[in-house]
Structure 1
């Protein structure tokens, strides 16, 4: 069912049974849970799927080691369980990540950590070896019955410096434990969405569709065309994260303030010396002010972050200059002799953590757990479940919680669980990846190296993507091809250029955008959508404005990349 058919099918209907507002990872999760139970459910997202906080995470899939200090043992246990499930259910995107904590003191933080645990202090404080050792011991205990990864290890100063010669020489010890990382979080969300739609013909989803109230009920407006449709759901699930209060107000719901979100900003750095200095590990460290920061190898570059700043307007969130300076200063603390040039920051992003409303002066103390607040039916509005809090790692369990509450209100019961349900290209995942790649390359006629790239991007779905690619043309300075982009446009709800270049692919986040690539991708999208020059020009202008305002990419940087791309192409041709 295409977009126009979906909208046409909504007109004049007495439904859906459940309207899920918000197509981030939590909204998609509850949508999938309900679709699997056969529920008549509609998902509406005002932007693109996984374009808000779900595109701005630290790319970590973790238990939340530092949440132990807050006494959130239940959350840590749940997060570790969900982390392990993702390692099994989405092995094409989620993989183990050795994580090393540099330690500069021995006893520091013992009293302060105890006071924080008891709620007697709010201020951050550096953690010493004793505190970190205790936390990692608890981490190991919580995974003892299902251990998928090695237990933590401690290193001496000498051993640490041998492994990471560029690290701050003031280091006293280091500790390494294992969590996980996600390579393509936005793609995982879209794969879950497509899985749900394929399972249940009554499930429908729309991106770029705004939901609001007009006093007489609920109205869905197609942002791309302006077409409006009245809806009459039996239940609403508000899964808009940092926008929950704004969504409630837009519906005309009588609800208290629920969200007190904080902003996290990240930089993607293309610095080979820094990349190699990490030795394949994430460095999980405390800045000099005691705040947690991370850096780890990410798709050939290095991801560095993050900040934790209160925000009032989630629509205006971006990485500001002072945040960029803070992140670079924190990096200089842990690797003091490495210097990052401005042009080596190839991408930046920021998102809002959907934390519950709190007056706590220290944002790190705000609980990271999740729950649903109920807003009673009023006037023309039905009962509403508001999904508060949560972290990316626990999206499945949070979606299941909200779905169970919805099923109870609909008077129906769960028939399927998702604990062990593979996602998208994680289905039938081979134990011998290289053999699978060779076999599929032979079947499709796609070169083996190209099939390996497709396997890394799509898991076992690479077989479908490869079908018909042949020896197609690659985009400038990229390992994506024109037919590959055409496939994504046809099958993955792509409506705008940023949907394609920032979320369905990793072209944007890996720093591969250039004038030539943008124009070629725009041409492919325009042909698929039947756009004329005027519509294409507007799309180009909106995309470039987005790159500059949200991702630190202006015309000068794009021009420089285009020149480098042309030089590389010329050198390859000469060779």
Structure 2
């Protein structure tokens, strides 16, 4: 399917398909990765998602691409090695969005935690305990070994008290040592997810991805899909159905085989994060992440985020993944954790620009401490039986960093089920805007060349390349040919740029654009007037009536207030503005 295909063209393609070798349900990062892997092998796979791409947990990650230092304690050496390997691959294959991140761990003692770490390693204890400098150095030495094999990250360092205090004068008095090492962060995870879909559809013209398409029922041989936007229904007979529902895996299995009492696969935990506008804290971090244990031993993080600070997270078991929001108690908990390591930093309520949370699709577990539940992934195959004529493959667990490896494993299992073989490895395959993206040392020259080629200011070219990598080129070409005007209420975006995203990236709702295709929401840049302006642009591009536009505006403002803490956009506060636009 062509990437600039309209919604109607995609629906038309689905109408013509009554059977499919593979149907993937769930458009989070693991479902998307599996879709890409299969499309790369020429399989005409179909991917559906009931909401937008990377809308749930895959858009609520800590924005880290990391090896999982703490997994060493539970003996998950294979997971750590895999994570470090995949981290380094992403640094190469998605260098437009994934960057090295120097990370510091504050430490309160020299030899503490050794006994408890040994007990956790032997599965004799779930109890959290403070880790000392020797234990952390041992873990980081292993980290270095894995990194040296697959990448070129600098080695770790351990500082004594004087050196630690010189670099981090704001640390709490309990901090006696510190260790620094490198992991990575991702600037636009939702965009990377979409680019994987685009790459997949380019690799196989018969591969088809549809957001806002829900699986609503199954009769044993066929499944029924429903377009969430129009209500139209479609019937498909899959040979293999991949359940990539994340926290909703068990719910989907019950829908597929309601008479079958299958074992519970998911025991999800909720993770909440805050985005702070706090110049003092930002200056103290000075480009680094602080990875620390709070007062109860829960691992927390904070690092710079586009001139703000990202702070998290919580780890709370939940039964209903549809209702999770960052609660006031979680905000208080996260801020209390911050004060534990930076006691003099005061964070007023007004500094909290944005909140987000998601449910980690962890495997069902009896662990007493949530942090001890494995972050590894696994495949659960439910072969054809009386309840379903197709093979049902469930993707359980996993973490963002290892999505490529998990997708490859899932695809290999599917290929065996349908009698096909792998043709191509994605190990070293660039993703989206990472294709033909130059090394950091070569970027200034490349950017200057682009500025001259398209006769545009260097600052604007640099801005677009930072947002889209090499995928900025068609936007630059459009600007050269048509010119552009900045938005009235956000000078850093233009109508041409946003219209390109709407027309080429399956934008169907206002939030798709505000939250996932751009960073406007998470960077705290939304205002009522800006949302109104963008809603007009979206309505014109998608052919909405004025009533539809106002309804979208109301719903989006309500969702942004509820799910992301943007109280100024609550419809009750925004009512006057909505009334005004609805009567123009």
TM class by shorter-chain length? over 0.9
The reply on whether 1:284 has 2:291 as its aligned counterpart is yes
> Residue 108 of structure 1: CA displacement?
1.7
2:103 equivalent in structure 1: 99
User: Does the CA-based 8 Å contact 1:478-1:507 persist in structure 2?
Assistant: no
Alpha-carbon distance in 1 for matches of 2:353, 2:320: 26
Q: Which residue of 2 is the match for residue 238 of structure 1?
A: 243
**3-state SS of paired residue (1:346):** strand
Shift of residue 101, structure 1, vs aligned partner: 0.2
Between 468-477 and 518-527, report the one with greater CA deviation: 468-477
Unaligned 5+ runs, structure 2: 575-584
The question of whether the paired residues in 1 share the 8 Å contact of 2:256 and 2:388 is answered with no
Residue of structure 1 in register with 2:370 after alignment: 363
Aligned partners of 2:276 and 2:572: how far apart in 1? 18
Shift of 1:560: 11
Give the corresponding residue for 1:157.
161
Q: Say whether the 8 Å CA contact 2:97–2:186 is kept in structure 1.
A: yes
Query: Aligned pair in 2 of structure 1 residues 351, 168: CA closer, same or farther (>3 Å)?
Result: same
Contact 1:308–1:363 (8 Å) recurs in 2: yes
Deviation (angstroms), 1:381:
4.2
> Can you give the 5+ residue segments of structure 1 that lack an aligned partner in the other structure?
562-575
- Distance of aligned partners of 1:554 and 1:381 in 2 relative to their CA distance in 1, 3 Å threshold: farther
**Could you report, residue by residue, the CA deviation over 1:205-249 in whole angstroms, capped at 9, with x for unpaired residues?**
100110132435300100000000001111101111111011111
Cα offset, 1:475, TM superposition: 4.9
Offset from partner CA, 1:97-129 (integer Å, 9 cap, x none): 000000112222111111000011111111111
Deviation at 1:170, TM superposition (A): 2.7
- Verify: 1:476 aligned to 2:476, yes or no: no
Q: Partners in 1 of 2:287 and 2:16 — Cα distance?
A: 56
Shift of 1:313: 0.7
Moved over 6 A (4+): 556-561
Q: Quick one: distance in 2 between partners of 1:258 and 1:368? A: 14
After TM superposition, give the deviation of residue 10 of structure 1 in Å.
Answer: 2.3
Q: Deviations over 1:136-182 (max 9, x none)?
A: 11111222223411000011212112212222233101000000000
Q: What is the alpha-carbon distance in structure 2 between the residues aligned to residue 78 and residue 507 of structure 1?
A: 33
Match of 1:415 among 419, 423, 427: 423
Judged with a 3 Å threshold, the aligned counterparts in structure 2 of structure 1 residues 343 and 267 are, in CA distance, closer, same or farther, namely same
The alpha-carbon deviation at position 504 of structure 1 amounts to 0.2
How far apart in 2 are the matches of 1:421 and 1:457?
A: 20
| TM-score scaled by length of structure 1 | 0.95
1-side partners of 2:174 and 2:16: how far apart?
A: 69
Shift of residue 558 of structure 1? 10
Aligned match of 2:582: none
Q: Give the Cα–Cα distance (whole angstroms) in 2 for the partners of residues 48 and 300 of structure 1.
A: 27
- Aligned equivalent of 1:189: 193
Q: TM-score, normalised by structure 2?
A: 0.94
Shift of 1:555: 2.6
Alpha-carbon deviations, 1:324-370, whole Å to 9, x = none?
10000000111111111111110100011111001111111111111
Q: CA-to-partner distance for each residue in 1:173-194, whole Å, 9 max, x for gaps?
A: 1000000000000000001100
Aligned partner of 1:226 among 218, 231, 246: 231
1:442 lines up with 2:447 in the alignment: no
1:270 aligns with 2:277: yes
CA separation in 2, counterparts of 1:453 and 1:558?
Answer: 32
1:252 offset after TM fit, Å?
A: 2.6
CA–CA distance in 1 between the matches of 2:532 and 2:572?
13
Contact residue 454 and residue 476 of structure 2 kept, 8 A: yes
Q: What RMSD in Å do the two structures reach over aligned CA positions?
A: 1.6
